[in-house]
Amino acid sequence: MAPAGAKKGILERLDAGEIVVGDGGFVFALEKRGYVKAGPWTPEAAAEHPEAGAQIVGINCHFDPETCVKTVKLMKEGVEKAGLKAHYMSQPLAYHTPDCNCQGFIDLPEFPFSLEPRILTRWDMQKYAREAYNAGIRYIGGCCGFEPYHVRALAEELAPERGFLPAGSEKHGNWGSGLEMHTKPWVRARARRDYWEKLKPASGRPFCPSMAMPDGWGVTKGHADLMQQKEATSQEQLKALFDKANKTH
């Protein structure tokens, strides 16, 4: 079970050497209260301006775990090169997004209502948790797409370092060990860690590609197409967007 005692703040917990497993909602709540600020492209800001004074540096949303962990490594290098210290945080998507561009998953054609085929398995999550920990990240969580079983997988992978298992872990066996009593022998043969770590899951969608072509239409920050308005989008404006989208596919 979790350590007993009064509740501590996130910075106090990280300063004490604790490994925190969280979710994106926590960061958004802090942002609303003025404790978190989103700025320019974060890796560049961390590497070029580490003296700015941030106590926790990290990545939240828009990209998958692999991309986020690699990015935090770059940020960590920049901070350490400047002779400074910080805590590191990673809260990626629960989707595989190797094909997205610099704006992340919002440019993928599946965003936001058809992303489920990209969802990470619980075994993917355990791999992410281990790689994040090995990279020196101590706030390890997730954002869009994360489900309770994903967060539990993070906590179970890091149980040896944290000193306790998450609630409910006693209800199932680790790494498929609950399959040891399955009626089918080929399923019983899956009751081992190396099977699930090496598995390459099939999508079951014979006519679907493995990756997509991001949209984005070649526009970035400051372009007129990205300007927002207070009024609802008119039918004429929507038609223009639909026509443009049809031409790009």
- Annotated binding-site residue numbers for Zn(2+): 61, 143-144
Cβ-contact 58, 75 below 8 angstroms: yes
Q: Which of 52, 246, 56 is nearest to 137 (CA)?
A: 56
Q: Which of 115, 68, 114, 71 is nearest to 91 (CA)?
A: 68
Cβ-contact 91, 23 below 8 angstroms: yes
Give the C-alpha separation, 10 to 27, whole Å.
Answer: 11
Residue 224 CA, chain-centre distance (Å), reads: 30
Q: Is 60 helix (H, G, I), strand (E, B) or coil?
A: strand
Residue numbers in the known binding site are: 61, 143-144
Hey, what are 75's tokens? 């940020």
